[in-house]
Amino acid sequence: MLEKSRALPVTSARLALTRHELVVTCWLSLGLAALFAASLYLGDYVVAPLDVVRSLLSPFTGVQTQGVDFIVLSLRLPRAILAILAGAGFALSGVMFQTLLRNPLASPDIVGISTGASAAAVFAIVVLGWGGALLSFGALAGALLTAVAIYLLAWRDGVSPYRVVLIGIAVSAMLSAVISYLFTRARIFEVQQAMAWLVGSLNAANTSEIIPLALALLILVPTGLLLGRGLSALQLGDDTARALGSRVELSRLSLLLCAVALSAFSTAAVGPVAFVAFVSGPIARKLLGTGRNGFVPTMVVGSCVMLGSDMLAQHALPNTQLPVGVVTGLFGASFLLWLLAMSNRQGRV
Amino acid sequence: MTWADTAPVRVLADRRIVGLVAMVLALIGTALASIGIGARSIAPETVWTALVAFDPQSTDHQIIWALRIPRTLIGIGVGIALGMAGAVLQGATRNPLADPSILGIHAGAAVLVVIGIFIFGLTSFSQYVWLAFAGAGAAMLFVYSVASLGREGATPVKLALAGAATTAALMSVVSAVLLTSLNTLDEIRFWQVGSLAGRDMSIFTQVVPFLLLGTVLAFAIGRTLDGLAMGDDVARGLGQNVAVSRGLAGLAAVILAGGATAAAGPIAFVGLTVPHLARAITGPSYRWILPYSMLIAPLLLLGSDILGRIVAPPGEVQVGIVTAALGAPVFIALVRRRKLAEL
């Protein structure tokens, strides 16, 4: 009885936190649903909202309108789904890295995982002449290999987060040099193709991109969320976590593996879209306002950022379609600078 | 103070001076090698006669005076500038990560060069010089000022974050232009790699006043860096005006790194790695780190350039690629060896 009354305040506080997170997540999901609907509706070819619904239901009702069905089901729907999936994947991977390495800089963009995928993809395009699924596979392999290399180089009686970031930056610089070198050696049309891949885009959205990513997320997201429950101990620092009974190296390694795989599969599907992984965590954190990283809200934020950026990229300028990566970079960076200026005003990092 | 107290200090100082002299000699040797080695093999005697008695009729002499000597001089100048800019920045910000490339200087230069090519149709390196210089300076000042807002000043994390964010924003502009213009992409890919090739004497003469000014300024404030390295409070207690010395240090770094990027394009990792190497040899005093950085960096840069000419005949590998390939492993070894945060 005594034990129960002591445990109650803690439990109820935890429940309140969870409820708050749930409410925020619901609002975010509503926003995502609105963006999703808008992305199906907006475009050069005007489709009435009712017609959009009709062609979405056409596989079930059997009522087909050929032109509209093609635009909605084969062009706009795959694009929106790919944006949502890849955004969630990048965001979860980013927030896992940031939480795990206790450093807001430690997103896969900056730690070198994306550069690894990029270097491999540019090599595959320029030297091997690969494309399509083979290219995605090359990028995936590049990301995984780079992650293993960084982990091994940072290993010295365990892995200190600061060392991972520094070594990641160094590895990233080396791989950027590889990309520059390949750029000077290739024919200009291959360079153009590689450049388009490096910026990242949703133009090639179709089932062969969506299905591998969806399968990967189906496995990795639940794993990440489950493993993430041990993260709060790790965030207190290695020594405290060890004292609390956490197996520091093992849980860190499995979390890192999961985060790397998420980033690698997303990059393979849409290219290294800049800064979605970087900004989603901080945005969700601000929205939650609890000083905690919420994994699920972060994923929804990532999907919103990706889908919203893609709509901006497609429709903001008349007669010009930009790849999504151009908009996410600008948007993410301005947000980060704003965040820095704000936190400076409050006198903390 | 007795002779016995000062003797070890003097021996140490003597040893460091011997080291400096040895490095000057090595630099002269490397410069001669850089004049002698290249795609066209020229006999050492011919190199010597070209240097002492120039004959305008001889193709070999022409190559040496029109191509290899400007290239070597630019290599030395750019190396000195990068090494000193890195050392000054690391001292002034008390930040082992402070490096021109991490502070967004290359992205700033790239944006203006890309816009220059895209809008004004510029096609030669000598036309990029001023654009690159302006872009580099503006970007670094922006990053530096965003990061030094607030009470603690430019902490490692804030500098790195502001630099990364600025780089990302500027690079999206760059990629937006490059995706729409094939010509710009074709021009920029040879600039952004960082190279000493294809620069003539006019680029050296345009940049050299800045390099001289920056070097003089860096040495003038060298003494204050030791104070800043001990923390703002100690520096203030020693009678320094912290804001002024940090501002002058930032100015020196902008002039040096901006000039280097203008002359050779973005060269990564020299500015980051060389001061760490110098510190490992000399210990923590900037009175020694500055001259050592000033000599190690051109040695590394010219050495990398010569290596780049040899490794892939008949073509050559640009110096920016060789320095990243050599510099990154050195940096990784340094990171593994000790706690950088405590420098």
* Residues B178-202 pLDDT 10s: 888 888 888 888 888 888 887 888 8
Residues of A in contact with B179 (CB under 8 A): 195-196, 199, 322-323, 326
b/e map A199-231, b = 16+ CB within 10 Å = bbbbebbeeebbebbbebbeebbebbeebbebb
Over residues B159-173, mean pLDDT: 81
Compute the distance between CA of residue A284 and CA of residue B330 in angstroms, rounded to an integer.
38
* pLDDT score of A344 more than 60: no
Cα–Cα distances in Å, from B322 out to A131, B305, B328?
Answer: 29, 7, 10
Q: What pLDDT shows up at residue B150?
A: 66
Alpha-helical segments (H) within A42-131 = 49-61, 66-69, 77-100, 108-111, 113-123
Q: Which residue has the tokens 């670094």?
A: B140
* pLDDT score of A2 more than 60: no
pLDDT band at A314 (very low <50, low <70, confident <90, very high): confident
B164: nearest CB among A105, A176, A177: A105
Q: State the angle between helix axes of B69-93 and B222-229 in degrees (0 to 180), rounded to the nearest 10.
A: 40
Q: What pLDDT shows up at residue B55?
A: 81
Q: Residue B9 is encoded by which pair of tokens?
A: 């200090």
Compute the distance between CA of residue A142 and CA of residue A138 in angstroms, rounded to an integer.
6
Chain-chain contact of A181 with B317 (C-beta, under 8 angstroms)? yes
Q: Cα–Cα–Cα angle for B103, B109, B110, nearest 5°?
A: 105
How many helices (DSSP H) and strands (DSSP E) are in chain B? Answer: 15, 0
DSSP for B195-236, please give it: --TT--HHHHHHHHHHHHHHHHHHHHTHHHHHHHHT-HHHHH
Cross-strand bridge partners of residue A155: A159
Looking at chain B, the whole-number percentage of residues with pLDDT higher than 70 is 92
Compute the distance between CA of residue A128 and CA of residue A139 in angstroms, rounded to an integer.
13
* pLDDT score of A345 more than 80: no
For residue A38, count other CB atoms closer than 10 A to its CB: 14
Q: What pLDDT shows up at residue B213?
A: 93
For chain A, the domains span: 33-345
For residue B308, count other CB atoms closer than 10 A to its CB: 22
- Distance between A220 CA and the closest CA of chain B, angstroms: 28
Identify the CA nearest to A90 among candidates A318, A311, A344, A304: A304
Q: Which residue has the tokens 């930056």?
A: A169
Residues of A in contact with B98 (CB under 8 A): none
Higher-pLDDT residue of A165 and B301 is B301
Residue A316 near chain B (CB below 8 Å):
no
Residues of A in contact with B320 (CB under 8 A): 177, 180
Q: What pLDDT shows up at residue A131?
A: 77
Compute the distance between CA of residue A313 and CA of residue B333 in angstroms, rounded to an integer.
42
Q: For residue A126, what is the DSSP state?
A: I
pLDDT band at A7 (very low <50, low <70, confident <90, very high): low
First-residue to last-residue Cα distance in chain B: 31
Q: What pLDDT shows up at residue B169?
A: 84
Q: What pLDDT shows up at residue B144?
A: 79
> A78: cis peptide before it, omega within 30°?
no
Q: Cα A229 vs. chain centroid, distance in angstroms? A: 20
Residue A137 near chain B (CB below 8 Å):
no
B328: nearest CB among A170, A184, A191: A170
* pLDDT score of B342 more than 50: no
Cα–Cα distances in Å, from B212 out to A152, B235, B256?
Answer: 43, 27, 9
Residues of B in contact with A327 (CB under 8 A): 172
For residue A255, count other CB atoms closer than 10 A to its CB: 21
Residue A319 near chain B (CB below 8 Å):
no
Chain-chain contact of A177 with B173 (C-beta, under 8 angstroms)? no
Compute the distance between CA of residue B304 and CA of residue B313 in angstroms, rounded to an integer.
15
How many CB pairs (< 8 A) connect A and B?
Answer: 149
pLDDT band at B157 (very low <50, low <70, confident <90, very high): low
Compute the distance between CA of residue B113 and CA of residue B127 in angstroms, rounded to an integer.
9
* Residues B5-46 pLDDT 10s: 556 666 667 788 888 899 999 999 999 988 888 777 788 888
Over residues A1-7, mean pLDDT: 48
* pLDDT score of A342 more than 80: no
* pLDDT score of A37 more than 50: yes
Over residues B168-174, mean pLDDT: 85
Residues of A in contact with B180 (CB under 8 A): 320
Q: Cα A63 vs. chain centroid, distance in angstroms? A: 37
Over chain A, what is the mean pLDDT? Answer: 83
- Cα torsion angle, B159, B160, B161, B163, sign: positive
Higher-pLDDT residue of A60 and B320 is B320
Is-contact B184 B114, C-beta < 8 A? yes
Q: For residue B5, what is the DSSP state?
A: H
Cross-strand bridge partners of residue A159: A155
Residues A33-345: name the CATH superfamily. ABC transporter involved in vitamin B12 uptake, BtuC (1.10.3470.10)
* Residues A121-131 pLDDT 10s: 999 999 888 87
Least confident of A336-340, B216-220, B273-277: A336-340
A contact residues 198-217, partner B, Cβ 8 Å cutoff: 198-199
How many helices (DSSP H) and strands (DSSP E) are in chain A? Answer: 16, 0
Best mutation target, A126, A192, A337, to test chain B (most B CBs within 10 A): A337
Over residues B134-150, mean pLDDT: 83
* Residues A194-233 pLDDT 10s: 888 888 888 878 888 889 899 999 999 999 888 887 777 7
Residues of B in contact with A177 (CB under 8 A): 268, 320-321, 324-325
- Distance between A113 CA and the closest CA of chain B, angstroms: 15
* Residues B222-269 pLDDT 10s: 888 888 877 778 888 888 887 788 778 888 988 898 888 888 888 877
pLDDT band at A290 (very low <50, low <70, confident <90, very high): low
Q: What pLDDT shows up at residue B26?
A: 93
* pLDDT score of A279 more than 50: yes
Over residues B147-171, mean pLDDT: 74
Chain-chain contact of A174 with B324 (C-beta, under 8 angstroms)? yes
* pLDDT score of A301 more than 60: yes
Q: Cα A338 vs. chain centroid, distance in angstroms? A: 21
Q: What pLDDT shows up at residue B154?
A: 64
Is-contact A214 A89, C-beta < 8 A? no
pLDDT band at A349 (very low <50, low <70, confident <90, very high): very low
Least confident of A146-155, A258-267, B308-317: B308-317
3-state secondary structure of B168: helix
Residues of A in contact with B336 (CB under 8 A): 153-154, 156, 163, 167
Whether the full predicted model's pTM is greater than 0.90, yes or no, is: no
Q: Residue B87 corresponds to which amino acid?
A: A
pLDDT band at B307 (very low <50, low <70, confident <90, very high): very high
Q: Which long-range contacts (CB under 8 A, 24 or more apart) does B17-21 make?
A: B19/B281, B19/B292, B20/B291, B20/B292, B20/B295
pLDDT band at A83 (very low <50, low <70, confident <90, very high): very high
Over chain B, what is the mean pLDDT? Answer: 83
Residues of B in contact with A323 (CB under 8 A): 179
Identify the CA nearest to A101 among candidates A167, A149, A157: A167
Chain-chain contact of A336 with B150 (C-beta, under 8 angstroms)? no
A contact residues 80-99, partner B, Cβ 8 Å cutoff: none
* pLDDT score of A346 more than 80: no
ipTM score for this prediction: 0.78
Identify the CA nearest to A349 among candidates A109, A107, A104, A161: A104
Compute the distance between CA of residue B215 and CA of residue B295 in angstroms, rounded to an integer.
12
Chain-chain contact of A170 with B340 (C-beta, under 8 angstroms)? no
Task: List CB contacts of A290: < 8 A, sequence separation 6 or more.
Answer: A17, A20, A21
Q: State which H helix or E strand residue B10 sits in.
A: helix B3-36
Compute the distance between CA of residue B66 and CA of residue B262 in angstroms, rounded to an integer.
20
Dihedral over alpha carbons B24, B26, B29, B33 (to 10 degrees): -130
Looking at chain A, the whole-number percentage of residues with pLDDT higher than 70 is 90
3-state secondary structure of B283: coil
* pLDDT score of B3 more than 60: no
pLDDT band at A91 (very low <50, low <70, confident <90, very high): very high
Q: What pLDDT shows up at residue B50?
A: 81
DSSP for A130-149, please give it: --HHHHHHHHHHHHHHHHHH
Q: Residue A16 is encoded by which pair of tokens?
A: 């309140």
Q: Which residue has the tokens 């992409």?
A: B185
Q: What pLDDT shows up at residue A53?
A: 82
3-state secondary structure of B186: helix
Over residues A38-60, mean pLDDT: 81
* pLDDT score of A146 more than 90: yes
pLDDT band at A347 (very low <50, low <70, confident <90, very high): very low
